[in-house]
């Protein structure tokens, strides 16, 4: 179930990127070809970017595709690396909870603000903050109980100690 949610977050993030690219393309077309840039495109692109980045970031916690330095893993050995894996995921879970809590507070603070060019409440732009924060926390807790070798990374086949992303 958690994998399914993560897969859908990646799909939503990808769709958001495609739609944002189309919106920015329309803005450029309007500005340079029609000499009349649509007023809604900049805020729409920004709103889409906030949504797709936050959802993709949550999926990145689950799939392990965020940047990582494996130096300490190599220095600590298998047992130390397993402890480090759990500590890092605990910190990520706490950060996700902080994003969720402070994101919810931000939503409440801007609930009456309107994005003038869109006519939408500003909370619409920030709505993914508590959602993605909670998902990051859930995914990080799940990762704490998965083996460190099952984090989406696999050892470099050449044995150099580098980690290569898996293609699953």
pLDDT of residue 168: 42
110-165 pLDDT tens trace? 999 999 999 999 999 999 999 999 999 999 999 998 876 555 544 433 444 444 44
Q: Could you count the other beta carbons within 10 Å of the beta carbon of residue 41?
A: 21
Residue 100 predicted with pLDDT over 80: yes
Lowest mean pLDDT among 33-47, 67-81, 124-138, 143-157: 143-157
Q: How confident is the model at residue 32 (pLDDT cuts 50, 70, 90)?
A: very high
Residue 105: which residues within 8 A CB-CB, separation 6 or more?
Answer: none
């Amino acid at each position: 179930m958690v994998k399914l949610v993560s897969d859908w977050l990646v799909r939503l993030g990808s769709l958001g990127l495609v739609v944002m690219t189309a919106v920015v393309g329309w803005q450029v077309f309007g500005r340079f070809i029609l000499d009349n840039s649509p007023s809604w495109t900049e805020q729409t692109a920004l709103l889409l970017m906030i949504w797709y980045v936050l959802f993709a970031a949550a999926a990145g916690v689950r799939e392990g595709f965020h940047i990582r330095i494996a130096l300490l893993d190599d220095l600590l050995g298998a047992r130390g690396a397993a402890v480090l894996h759990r500590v890092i995921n605990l910190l990520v879970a706490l950060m996700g909870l902080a994003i969720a809590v402070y994101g919810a507070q931000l939503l409440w603070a801007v609930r009456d603000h309107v994005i003038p060019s869109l006519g939408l409440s500003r909370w619409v732009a920030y709505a993914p903050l508590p959602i993605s924060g909670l998902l990051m926390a859930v995914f990080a807790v799940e990762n704490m109980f998965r083996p460190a070798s099952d984090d989406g990374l696999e050892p470099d086949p050449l044995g150099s100690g580098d980690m290569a992303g898996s293609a699953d």
